[in-house]
Amino acid sequence: MTLPEFFGCTFIAFGPPFALFVFTIANDPVRIIILIAAAFFWLLSLLISSLWYALIPLKEFLAFGVVFSVCFQEAFRYIIYRILRSTEQGLHAVAEDTRVTDNKHILAYVSGLGFGIISGMFALVNVLADMSGPGTMGLKGGTELFFVTSAAQALSIILLHTFWSVIFFNAFDTNNYIHIGYVVGSHLFVSLITLLNANELYTTTLLINYLVTILTGVLAFRVAGGTSRSFRKFITCQ
């Protein structure tokens, strides 16, 4: 049972992101480099955010650590935004597919997917390790829904990071501070909501996470220039 559960949860969390990587990134070396660079910047944000543990009076409060982490993640999202915007001419010169620089949303999408994949990996890797056995159904006496919930939430955060970067990059390009506030606020909200999992409120956290994911996806779609007409054409493969 442990191996089927392991592979099932792995595919839930990383199946769609892997498909996005294969079909939209893998054939372009520049996009791969940007994705890896974004993942590295997320790792830096994780490293620096760990400093909250040095604050002795607050280290026992996990919610404070979550706020600290979100702030640093968004700070590094801004840093990679500035780096990509300042190197667009160089990327255009070396890119085989110039759409990566002609369409500014592609840079945001690729870097956001890099942020999301590494974030999802760190959120789920320990759970997957425990899941591989032996006999881990209901880890430490908990509900058997823990693993599936963790996988579904990892997928949610991967998609959210992708959407957030599209919105975030465009917001700074257009000085749309409402969208910047939405990205930071929704990131903080979703992260804090996951603390309810300590009380096994998995249904509540999943419903809220995926509601935010859908709303953020729609906003990212609109920001990238999508319309209801273009969506219909996509669905009908026209």
pLDDT of residue 59: 62
Average pLDDT over the chain, rounded to an integer: 84
Highest-confidence segment of 8-22, 43-57, 81-95: 8-22
Mean pLDDT across 220-232 = 83
Which residues are CB-contacts of 149 (< 8 A; sequence separation ≥ 6)? 197, 202, 205, 206
Tokens, residue 163: 């959407």
Residue 21 banded pLDDT, cuts 50, 70, 90: very high
Does residue 79 have a pLDDT over 80?
A: yes
User: Quick one: which H or E segment has residue 173?
Assistant: helix 145-174
Of 6-20, 106-120, 133-147, 207-221, where does mean pLDDT reach its minimum? Answer: 133-147
Give residue 78's domain range: 2-235
Are residues 197 and 136 in contact, defined by beta-carbon separation less than 8 angstroms? Answer: no
Give start and end residues of each alpha helix (H) in 175-201: 177-193
pLDDT of residue 128: 76
CA 209 – CA 114 distance, rounded (Å): 20
Count of domains observed in the chain: 1
Q: How far is CA 68 from CA 16, 36, 236, in A?
A: 29, 24, 44
Does residue 49 have a pLDDT over 70?
A: yes
